[in-house]
Amino acid sequence: MDSQTLALLMFPALFVLMFLGFPVALSLMSVGFAFGLMGFKFQALLFQFTQKVDSVASNFVLAAVPLFVFMGSMLERSGIAEKLFEAVHIWTRRLPGGLAVGTVIMCIIFAASTGVIGATEAVVGLLAIPPMLRYGYDKSMVCGTICAGGSLGTIIPPSVVVVVLGPVADVSIGDLLVGMVIPGLVLSLGYIAYITGLCILKPERGPRIPPSPDDPTFREKLAVTMKAMVPPLLMIFAVLGSIFFGWAAPTEAAAIGAATSVLLVLCYRRFTWLTFRQALLKTLTVTCMIMLILLGGSLYTGTFVALGGMGLIRELIAGADMGAWGVIALALGVIFAAGFFLEWISIILIFVPIFLPLVKAFGFDPLWFCMLVLLMIQTSYLTPPMAPAIFYLRGISPPEITLGHMYRGVIPFIVIQLFVAGLIMAIPEMATWLPAQVLGFK
């Protein structure tokens, strides 16, 4: 059997292992090793694998992963989210669908504070679901708001997803973090506009909360806002501002964020050694998982390339005569479909190394393409059957919320995400303009 045929067979072999329930990291390593053994001499395979292990272990950029995870873990366990929830909702509660709008704003702030997607959805969901149900909000809209808002951590900086995507795509993490700002804000505004418009047209979907005699005064609202929102916003500025103004590299900014999260917890008098220990354990667990999958993905793609897989894919695409935009549509379609079944890190490690060289060959900006990949990954968070966002919500939702409510609720938000992806395709400057202004990216 020739090497290119072996490379082509790596995909079905990988999917079979994963569908049988083998861990993603071990599936990637096993397929990479087995097909490498069939295609090369053992000495050459051993050299390649050793080289890949050294490459992943010595990549200092990946040091940002545990730092961002630790930052999110500290904030998740500190109780800061409750104060943020109160501060946001005292301003939005009188609007049509005000509790849902406030929940999206809360997700934006918390996503920008943590960089960890599951943490945002779990914490915000536990806080927002009870009051929305109590005031008669439509259950499907409640589910869609929590799932879509909780997944904003993919496209709102800082993001652990970007820390993994940058080295794989050979794109600066700083450019990616800055480039995410405009798409992330446009997507968030799209969510808010949809919720507000729907609740104006159909008030029963998200009723306004009636005035109450014990409503806080304007001065009391300002006091609550200053106390609850200003410190987290300062932490966000410490992380993103240090990158925007060139004061720190992304890895250094992640270290600033980790240190600032501890200070923030101390300032709120929520620090305990138990909280600190739990945050460290979660950081260790999540980081080990990500690094092991990264290593497995590196071994898998290294074998695929060495067997001539990239050359075969180029030949197939050239033979199909798809054209530049056809390749973009194929890449995004495959990534979107893969999200039905695979986790985000698997999608990045398997498909980005395959499609990015083709995208570059057609003259497209890799930063722009990475923004589209991030949006497709975020869309995959909401898309059944895998839909991690729905699984997160299922774990924290009350019995009266069913899977049917969840599936119906995410559909409008998936449409909004695809619409924003279309905007970025039509207007590449949405992804590239800000990095050019702030970091001098060309």
Average confidence (pLDDT) over 106-123: 73
pTM of the model: 0.81
Structural domain includes residue 300:
yes
CA 111/CA 122 separation, integer angstroms: 12
Into how many domains does the chain fold? 1
Q: What is the mean pLDDT of the chain?
A: 82
Going by pLDDT thresholds of 50, 70 and 90, the confidence category of residue 426 is very high
The mean-pLDDT minimum among 52-61, 143-152, 176-185 falls in 52-61
Structural domain includes residue 3:
no
Coil, helix or strand for 341?
A: coil
Structural domain includes residue 1:
no
Q: Does 205 or 74 have the greater pLDDT score? A: 205
- pLDDT at 215 (0 to 100): 73
Burial class (CB in 10 A: 0-12, 13-18, 19+), 144: buried
Q: Which domain holds residue 137?
A: 16-438
pLDDT of 313 above 80: no
Structural domain includes residue 230:
yes
User: What pLDDT digit, counting tens, does each position of 231-242 carry?
Assistant: 888 888 888 888
Structural domain includes residue 7:
no
DSSP designation for 207: P
Tokens of 201: 């047209």
CA 299/CA 320 separation, integer angstroms: 29
Q: Which residue type sits at 20?
A: L
Average confidence (pLDDT) over 82-98: 83
pLDDT of 395 above 80: no
pLDDT of 256 above 50: yes
User: What pLDDT digit, counting tens, does each position of 346-373 carry?
Assistant: 788 888 888 888 888 888 999 999 999 9
- pLDDT at 116 (0 to 100): 62
Structural domain includes residue 231:
yes
Asked if 234 and 112 count as a contact pair (C-beta separation under 8 A), the reply is: no
Tokens of 228: 């609850």
Structural domain includes residue 10:
no
pLDDT of 170 above 80: yes
pLDDT of 442 above 50: no
Structural domain includes residue 2:
no
